[in-house]
Amino acid sequence: MAKMIHSMIRILDETRSLAFYGAAFGLTVAERLDFETFTLLYLSNGESEFELELTVNKGRTEAYGLGDGYGHLAVSVTDLDAEHLRVTDLGLNPGKIIELKRDGALLARFFFLTDPDGYKIEVLQRHGRYK
């Protein structure tokens, strides 16, 4: 059986992205692999073995076009309201908290953040399938 281990996104500014992912999600660099034309940064925290791989292509100056194929990354938290307040206080401009119901029952509570490169991250209350 396959095991999901990481997802990769391309970024322009290593310092800016590390600051965002550290402040927003407590992610730190688990490993940094520097090559001649690019750098790979594997970010993680103690909540999960899953990692976010940031790829920095050296010399690139223009923003990446996310197109219409990218959806979002998702993380779960134990207290969505406290997390929304915390990232608001950090100036990270979260979207409003949304409640999604199905057949009258709560399916999910969440909000979105946008990282410095325009990637969307869904922050979900741990509930039901969203553990």
Catalytic status, residue 122:
yes
Containing 105, the helix (H) or strand (E) segment is: strand 105-114
Q: Which amino acid is at 71?
A: G
The CA angle 57-4-8, to the nearest 5 degrees, is: 15
Q: Determine which one of 49, 53, 83, 122 is catalytic.
A: 122
Q: Are 40 and 53 a contacting pair, CB within 8 Å?
A: yes
Type of residue at 95: G
Phi, psi of 24 (to 5 degrees): -75, -40
Contacts for 37-45: CB closer than 8 Å, 24+ residues apart: 39/14, 41/14, 42/6, 43/18
Catalytic residues: 122
